[in-house]
Structure formats: C-alpha cells, structure tokens
Structure 1
Amino acid sequence: MTAPDTLVLIEGGRLQPFGFDPFQISKDLGLRTILVTGDTTEYLKSAVSRESVEKNVDRVIEADISDAASVVASLRDEHAAGRLLGVFSITEYCVVVVAEVAHALGLPGLSPAAGRDARQKQRTRQICSTADVPVPNFAWVQSADQARKAAEELGSPCVVKPPSEAGGIGVKLCSSPDEAGLHYDIIAAAPTDRRGNPRPMGALVEEYVVGYQVSVEVVHFRGAHHVIGVTDELYGPHPHFVAVGETYPSLLPEKTQRECADVAVKALRAIGHNFGVAHVEVKVTAKGPLLIEVNARLPGAQITRLIHEAHGIHLPREVIRIHAGLTPDLNTHRDQAAAARYLTSPAAGVLTGVRGLPLAEELPGVAEVALYLAPGDRIQAAENIRDVLGYVIALGETAGEAARRADAAALEIGFDVASPEVSTLHG
C-alpha cells in the first residue's frame, strides 16, 4: 500500500478566478490532486478554469456531488490503495458532502451534523437561540401565509431569505407582510439551489436590525477555535444585500471586535463546529453584536486575499493543510491593512465601455484592479454576488488608509451600459 499523498477537491468556485486557487495550492504543497465534480464541462467554459485543471489536477472524477455515497463510491479505488489524505471544498454548497465523505472514509473533517446545522440557516438560528447566542428575532415559515403572519409579528421591514443559499442570493428586505409573502413564493418556486442541489422547503423570516456588519474569520485546530481576525463588510442599497467591499483588519475598537469574536465562537461551539475554518457574520446593533450567519467554509470574495496582504496569513493554504492532516501556520507575519471594493452597475443591459481604469491604477497603494466582464457582455443591476463586475484592492499602513485608497480607486471607475434593445438596433 502506498503512503497517503492525495487531496480530494470537491468542486471549485466557478464564479471568480480565486475559486480555482485550491488546485494550485494542492500542487504547490506537493500533493496529488483529484477533482470530483458534478459536471466536467463546467471547467471547460473558460480559459482560466480549463488551464487550472489541466496544470494542477491529476485526475478528474464525475459523480453526484449532492450525494456523499456517490462521491465515496467514486473514490473506492483510491481509498483502497491508501492514497487519500483528505477532502476539501472551497464552496459553501459542498460543506455537508465534504464532511460526510471525510467521515465515511475516516479522513480529517468537520462533524457532518455541524456541517448540516451551519448550512441550514433555520437550524443555525434555532440552535444558537437555544444556546443564548444573541440573534435577531426570527420565524421559520413554510408557506406564503406563514411568511405574511411572521412579518406582521416581527414588524416591517423584515428580511426573508432561503434556507441554504450563499452570497446574498434570494435575500431581500421586504417592506410589508404582503411583500414578504410574495418573496416567499419566489423562493419556493426554485426547488434547487444555485448549484443544483435540492433545496429544503421553507424560508427564514427575521427581524431587520439596523447596524453595521462584520465577519469573524475563525479556524478550529487541535481542539480550539483560533480567531484570525475581524473584517469590516460593506453592503449596497436595499432591498438586496450585495457585498460592495471589505476592509481588513476591522476599523472598530478592540473591545467591539472582541465582542463580535465572542459571539462568533459561541455560535460555532453551539452548533458543534469542531474542524477547519468558519466565516461568521455578525451585525453590531444598538442591542450589541448579533449573529447573522455561520458559514463553515473559507470567507468568499477577496477576504482571504486581504488577510494575506495585511497579515501574511495564506488562509486557503493553511486550511488545506489542516484538511490534509498537516500543521498550519496561522501566525501573523506582517502588520499592514488591505481593502477591497467591488464594482457593480446600477442598471441592466449591455456593457459598452469602462471608464477610469488607468486613473484607478495610478492611485498610491492600489494593488490590483480587475474586471470579470468585457464590452459586449450582458450585465445586471446588482442583486447578489453573481452581479459583481470586478474589484479594486488597495493596501495601506492602517485599515483607514487602505479603505480610503480603495474607495478613491473605485470611484474613478464607471460603466457605460446600453439597453439590450439599443444594442441590438445598433448591431
């Protein structure tokens, strides 16, 4: 029997280029890499994903990634050969299957129960509320009538969200009970989530609390939760909840950051989180910090990049080390700050031009300006993370300096958008 040398990656992040970083990280760590995917053709749709797979992945296996038994069966020969070190995924939608596969194969991993409780927003709320973790008032509803009644009891406006999406998909601030009922019907009309997995019936209706939001990045290793840091999060205008920026480390007073971290760790303990990384969202309100969501995965968007730029911690690499049974380096190696601002369009249509990119790039401290789309592509007014057009990353000696530089750069960039009809007429 050969010595274990193989890391299994279940899907990659298809939305943005950083979603393929685990492929490169695994190779850089000297590991043999297997990609298990529900659809191989997804990785042929762009040059970035195709090249990443071809350069860094040793074997691609197609299986039903919504079913742990199917994934385990697809790895039977590798497991029998004693080659498997661990299993990992960068995406929220694979948290549960990764935990279940690791458990079935005797590999390092999160408790499957904790994975399920983190993925199902209503379960997180129920468990944390019982454990005296401060949360907004909420109701779990399974019909439009129940959504309307819950909105009447909680007060308007209220937030209505699907049970198992990510990136703000399907989350809406509803101004009245009738709007809450209508939005419930929209959620219920989609039987699967964005990745095609069956979606539980129902929706979470919760009290809308006024405040500012942060995320707490936490790693569980060798029996303890280690707080990596607190990230300031910025969101666009209602009724949607679109992330438009982050600053790391947080600008908040140390006392407030400690309070937010305490809420995050208490929530993780309540759901039994016992392995790997978590991205916990907390809102600072007049009542104090309140738990918004627990995500048993790496933070998305550019947060891991900001942590690396600011403190020298390569969080994706170190978390992959943990999943491979290796020892991570979670120490701070530098004392700087970084900020990201995400570029969105106020209108839907066809992108005809981009203004100000050279000006943004000239600003001091700007590390990168990137666009996901090009003139001629159709774009949407931003409703969730899928509608982000690009980003700016800026560095600074302090979080305030990094944030000001990122804001200034983002303000230099503008988009020219034509309606689809106009674009068609002008050929």
Structure 2
Amino acid sequence: MAALTRGYMLQAVAKEHRIWVFKEEEPTWEQSLICGHTVVDTLDHQAMLRAAHDVAERGIPISGILCWDETRIQPSALLAENLGLPTMSPTVVATCRDKLATRNALQRHGATPVHAVAARDTREALRAAATIGYPVVLKPRALVGSNGTTLVTDPEHLTAVFESVATRSMPEVRERFPDPVVVEEYLDGPEISVDSLCWEGEVTPVFMARKHLGFPPHFEEVGHTVDAADPLLRDAELSRALHAAHAALGLSHGWTHTEWRLTARGPRLVEINARSGGDLIPYLGRLVTGVDAALAAASLALGERPAIPLRPQGAAAIRFLYPEQDTVVGSVQVDRSRLPATVELVEILAAPGQELLLPPAAHVTCRYALVIVTGDTPEQCAEALGAAERAVSLVPGS
C-alpha cells in the first residue's frame, strides 16, 4: 500500500536527491530509488539518531530529514533538530498531532474558534456535550485517518459509543493521554483540504481538494476533487483563516495540509497537519497544478524555499471503492475496455481472502480499489468516476 500512496513522491525526490531510508523492515519496492537503508524503529527518534550517526560515520553526509507519514512527523522533527538540520519545531509538530492542543492554541489566538473539551470518561463527555450542545463530534486525540471520529446526536448515543472511541488504538500511534477523547462542536457545511507552502510566515495555498465523505455518523473520506479554477483559492476569508491558524500554531516554515469546514460562520479548521496530504491528494494536485509537493517538501527539508511553478489546468478526482457490506474478497476485476479515456489510474487495493470491514469496525483498509480521473471540470470528473466505478467489480469470496 505504501508503494501506491507515497511511492510516487519517493520517485520524484529520488530524481533530484540521493536518499537513505530509515524503515522498520527491509525495503522492497524502494530499492531502485535509494542509495542505502537502515532498519530501525522510526517511531523512536533516539534510535534514529544513533542510526543517523552510524550513517554519517560511513562518510555519507546527511543534509535533510524528510517525512510525510503523520505518525512519524514528530520523531522525524526531533531527529532533524538533534542533527542541527532544518525542521519545523518539534513542539509545534506535537501541537498539530494533539487535537486538543491544536484547539487550545487556536483559542488562545482567537483563530477559527471551535468549542472543544477533552474527556476522561463518559460522565465528562456528557457534561462537555451538554455545554457545547448537540450534535457533537467525538475524536480520539492522536489517531489518524478519521479513525474513531463519530458524530453524536444525543446523550444516549454518546453513552453508547464513548468507550469504543476512547479505547480505539493504532499500532503506530504511541501517544497516550489520560483524557483520550476530544468532544467538539459539530461543524456543518462542505469539507475541504488545503495543501500550502509556508515561508517566513507567508502561507500560500497551492492546491485545494473538495472532500467526499461517507458512512455517517463517521467521517470516512471516500474521495477528493481538485479543481484548478476553484474560487476558494482566491477567497479572502479563507486566506485570512489560513494565516491565522498557521500563526496560532507557530507554523512559519514548511508544507502543511489543513482540513476545513465551510460553515455559515465562515471557515473553521478541522485539523492541521505538518506534512503533505494523504489519499493521493498531492498526486491530484500535481496533475492539476504541475506542482510536486514531494519536491517542495525536499527543498524545505534542506532549508531552501521551493519553487512553485503553478501551471493550473483542469480538474482531477479520486474515488475509493468500498463493498456494500462487510465481506471477504474473492477477487477484484477491472474491465479495462469499459474505462473512460480520462482515467489516469486504477489500482486494486484488496487481495483474495482479505476481510473488508466497513466503518466503524475499520477505516481506509476496507477499500478494495481506487480510480483517478482528469477532466476540464469537476463535473466531468464525477461523470468519468461513475463510469469507471462500473468497470470495477468486487467478487465476494467464501
């Protein structure tokens, strides 16, 4: 999966730079793109520091640290700081990683206000929800990929789901909090994400994705659309909100991926990430703008301001395909004769025998395929996605 979701970024950086990879296991698909590797716990910055000193002792200079995995951004920032290399402040990165700390920082600076309270148990969550007012959203403080995030409509619903949100975990997330759940006001309106370049406090939105969500009351991201002509790229209110949010968290240099709800009261930040977007959004951005987020991140890791040669043209979209119900995969088949000419990429994500469990049991891992298309407009992309989806079939197994 990593070869698909981030492989295109590694390929882009490898064309311009020599790369030494730190991984938990021996590299496979990366081998042709790197000059060497070290097997190390990449969630442990001290272990990586020892590994980096070993690399340097071999006479291999280390000029920058590059990471685009959300759970490893913090240890990577600590590693870069210890090596005296350009990086976002680890303290700032830690604030981005903690959903409550993010809200507190925004509140202190009066930026994109959203009511949010941390809760240790159901009683505290009920008290917070009563103060904020239903509906509310329950979020694990440090998980990724909308994992566990749930819209709650009333006290009975909150009582029924709180424990599952509070105890949800991911192996790659090691942060632990005594009050593990954030209770937030529900933000109504369309959701977008913005990938931006930050340099000396100036925030430049490079591309914007309109999110497509599914599986309510959860917030599964089932697709994204990037449009070069999106008027929000020139929206003064969103620009002010972007600058205010970055300033509140102390994000003055770096590439960021922010997620927003466009509410009746104006743009409200959902979360801010000290990295480029996931779900192949940078791939869509590159198709539409010509800007390579991976190369920009590499320049930033070297302390250099990236060139952003914007060449906006048309639109691109991605759709992830899900089973109608929990199932075991027999096979996934693609009738390529039925694919529209504007299909850029079709990838099968599920293997025969794999169990696909829909939210809330699982998130993201229940996708069985993805399709990327291009077009002159988002409407053309939506039409092409519909046709492409009909050409991909999931055959259940036993």
Specify if TM > 0.5: yes
Unaligned runs of 5+ in 2: none
Aligned residues with identical type, % of pairs: 23
Q: Is the 8 A contact 2:228 2:315 kept in 1?
A: no
Distance 2:338 2:183 in 1: 40
Aligned runs of 1:193-208 on 2, under 5 Å? 193-201=170-178, 202-208=180-186
Distance 2:55 2:323 in 1: 46
Aligned match of 1:4: none
TM-score normalized with structure 1 length:
0.85
Residues 1:150 and 2:128 are matched in the alignment = yes
Aligned match of 2:22: 36
Letter in 2 for 1:143: D
Aligned match of 1:271: 249
Deviation at 1:355, TM superposition (A): 6.0
SS in 1 for 2:63: strand
Question: Residues 102 and 356 of structure 1: is their aligned pair in 2 closer, same or farther, counting only changes over 3 Å?
Answer: closer
| Correspondent of 1:213 among 191, 199, 211 | 191
Deviations along 1:135-184, one digit per CA (max 9) or x if unpaired, are: 33221112221112222332333211111111111111223324324433
Question: Residues 143 and 119 of structure 1: is their aligned pair in 2 closer, same or farther, counting only changes over 3 Å?
Answer: same
Distance 1:265 1:135 in 2: 14
Choose 248-257 or 60-69, whichever is displaced more.
248-257
Q: Is the 8 A contact 1:260 1:282 kept in 2?
A: no
Aligned match of 1:93: 71
CA RMSD of aligned residues (A): 2.4
Question: Residues 136 and 416 of structure 1: is their aligned pair in 2 closer, same or farther, counting only changes over 3 Å?
Answer: farther
Distance 2:136 2:95 in 1: 23
SS in 2 for 1:51: coil
| Correspondent of 1:171 among 149, 157, 163 | 149
Aligned runs of 1:382-401 on 2, under 5 Å? 382-383=359-360, 384-401=363-380
Residues 1:409 and 2:388 are matched in the alignment = yes
Distance 2:250 2:213 in 1: 29
Q: Is the 8 A contact 1:220 1:277 kept in 2?
A: yes
| Correspondent of 1:341 among 308, 319, 324 | 319
Distance 1:251 1:125 in 2: 31
Deviation at 1:60, TM superposition (A): 2.4
Deviations along 1:239-288, one digit per CA (max 9) or x if unpaired, are: 21111111112775448844333322311111001222111001011222
Q: Is the 8 A contact 2:255 2:275 kept in 1?
A: yes
Question: Residues 161 and 375 of structure 1: is their aligned pair in 2 closer, same or farther, counting only changes over 3 Å?
Answer: same
Question: Residues 300 and 337 of structure 1: is their aligned pair in 2 closer, same or farther, counting only changes over 3 Å?
Answer: same
Equivalences, count: 394
Letter in 2 for 1:123: A
Q: Is the 8 A contact 1:168 1:385 kept in 2?
A: no
Deviation at 1:344, TM superposition (A): 1.0
Aligned match of 1:371: 348
Aligned match of 1:51: 29
Distance 2:266 2:193 in 1: 15
Question: Residues 241 and 15 of structure 1: is their aligned pair in 2 closer, same or farther, counting only changes over 3 Å?
Answer: farther
Aligned match of 1:111: 89
